Amino acid sequence: MSFVEIYDTTLRDGSQMEGISFSVADKIRIARKFDEMDFDYVEGGWPFSNPKDLELFEVLREKPLKNARLAAFGMTRRPGIASCDDSNIMALLSSGAPVVTIFGKTWDLHVREALKTTLDENLSMIADSVSFLVGKGRQVIFDAEHFFDGYADNPDYALKVLEAAAESGASTLVMCDTNGGSLPVRTMEVVSVVRERFGVPLGIHTHNDSGLAVANTLVAVGCGVTHIQGTVNGFGERCGNADLCSIIPCLGLKMGLKMKVDLEALTSLSHYVYEIANIHPDGHQPFVGNSAFAHKGGVHVSAVSRSARTYEHIAPEKVGNKRRILISELSGKSNVLHKAEQMNADLDAAALKKVMSSLVKLEHEGYQFEGAEASFEILILKANGKYRKLFDLEGFRVIIEKRGADDAMITEATIKVRVGEQSVHTVAEGDGPVHALDNAMRKALLQFYPSLSRMKLTDYKVRVIDETSGTAAKVRVLVESSAGASSWGTVGVSENIIEASWLAIVDSIAYALQKEEEG
């Protein structure tokens, strides 16, 4: 079984994605997480380009990574200047990184139009830069920029570029599909030619402009490439880079290649990077997405419950993910029974019929339970008679007031609830009507149920169900709550956004108290 090495460029190439701006602290946290994952290389950034990357290298020089090799990224020397006099080359050395990844032009169009120099001078720039850095004790990885486009226009010159880097001491030659326009069949042809010609380890670096970054990477590996560059979650400029969260499991689970990376931690790694980047995770992302192993159709669920292989290409646990059974009007009895089994809830024929009937009715009204599994669990508990109502609403009122044009909005909620024989009347303010209502509800119930102090509302979403009704349209409110490490979603629907919010909040609190009672 062959080994391949993983080179992550999230902190450099990934940070060029629109909407991402990592702080130095963010980059350090991500770098250490990649180190824990046992990536072979972590590219810290371009120390010549900005102060943040300079600071990152300073921090990691004082407290180095334990498993991964830190790489500094930069370009070859400029035309007509010695490497020792080039500020970019010297910044790469000053970074203290044991690995230097430099890119050079392989497309003659770029040499003439972008660098404004000759083809021979470009070869000298590459050879001089690599040999200088190797002479200073650095491992040098050469990124052949625009290699596939360059090879298409002038194959002889593109190969001469690789030759100049290899003969000067580059440890790995990385073929870059910088514009992301290559097709897998062409990638296979070109990589095969390079593999025949060079004995140096080869790498691949692809972009996703044609939606083929992962495919091109896997094809290249199939042709003998052993060094894989990419980013976690496919972050990158334009349409992104090759997604390591897809590449790594394909290499390990489908191509039988060995890596040091911990596959079972892949899903948590993906979500960790999304969180730091302040980007909502892509639920439909292969392998690690929340919907990657989600089943909705009744036929599918029935089959999966008997044999997971019927509708799952791998066991979700192998990448740290999990199977999810979705509930909707498309669901069959298998979905509901599977969900009840996950809850350790018994459903006899009568209760099952009641759940199915309620499900169809509620979805017709605009409810959706895919992101509100706690509300669905309450529905099951009500059907099998195991739901215990711990409080009753006697009424609430929400007041929103603005006294002057420059004054802040004031929102106040008054609520009256009954717990057993005792009626409680409370008032609370909040940042908006939903927050005020939530605060008032907790304030009223906290004296009876102290565990609610650990619960908090973490997300709130509103969806208009029927846009054609304008401001009279029904809305669906989805609330996400958490207590410690656990989190759950609930849903409410109404023409009135406050009432819809109230219904979702009530389900959320009821669910938390139900779980508390179950111990």
> What are the residues facing 477 on neighbouring strands?
462, 492
CB-CB contact of 158 with 107 (8 Å): yes
Full pLDDT tens readout for the chain, 519 residues? 478 999 999 999 999 999 999 999 999 999 999 999 999 999 999 887 778 888 999 999 999 999 999 999 999 999 999 999 999 999 999 999 999 999 999 999 999 998 999 999 999 999 999 999 999 999 999 999 999 999 999 999 999 999 999 999 999 999 999 999 999 999 999 999 999 999 999 999 999 999 999 999 999 999 999 999 999 999 999 999 999 999 999 999 999 999 999 999 999 999 899 888 988 889 899 999 988 988 776 677 667 777 778 888 999 999 999 887 766 555 566 667 777 777 677 777 887 788 788 877 887 788 877 677 888 888 888 888 888 888 888 999 999 887 776 777 888 999 999 998 899 999 999 888 888 888 898 899 998 988 888 888 888 888 887 655 555 578 888 888 888 778 888 999 998 888 999 899 989 998 888 887 776
Q: How many C-beta atoms surround the C-beta of residue 470 within 10 A?
A: 8
394's tokens = 């006697």
pTM of the model: 0.73
279's tokens = 């980007």
What CA dihedral angle connects 81, 83, 89 and 90, to 10 degrees? Answer: -100
Q: Does domain 340-378+455-519 have CATH number 1.10.10.10?
A: no
Could you tell me where in the chain the CATH 3.20.20.70 domains are found?
5-261
Number of H helices, E strands in the chain: 17, 16
The SS3 of residue 331 is coil
Q: How many C-beta atoms surround the C-beta of residue 424 within 10 A?
A: 17
Q: For 202-242, give the secondary structure using H, E and C.
A: EEEEEECCCCCHHHHHHHHHHCCCCEEEEEHHHCCCCCCEC
> What are the residues facing 241 on neighbouring strands?
207
Q: How many C-beta atoms surround the C-beta of residue 487 within 10 A?
A: 13
**What does the pLDDT read at residue 298?**
64
Could you tell me where in the chain the CATH 3.30.160.340 domains are found?
340-378+455-519
The CATH topology of domain 391-448 is Double Stranded RNA Binding Domain (3.30.160)
Buried b (16+ CB within 10 A) or exposed e, 193-211: ebeeeeebbbbbbbbbbbe
Whole-angstrom CA distances from 106 to 190, 249, 361, 473 are: 14, 31, 63, 58
5-261 CATH pick, 3.40.225.10, 3.40.109.10, 3.30.470.20, 3.20.20.70 = 3.20.20.70
Distance CA 508, CA 272 (A): 25
Distance CA 432, CA 430 (A): 6
**What does the pLDDT read at residue 1?**
47
**What does the pLDDT read at residue 423?**
92
Buried b (16+ CB within 10 A) or exposed e, 20-42: bebebebbbebbbbbbebebbbb
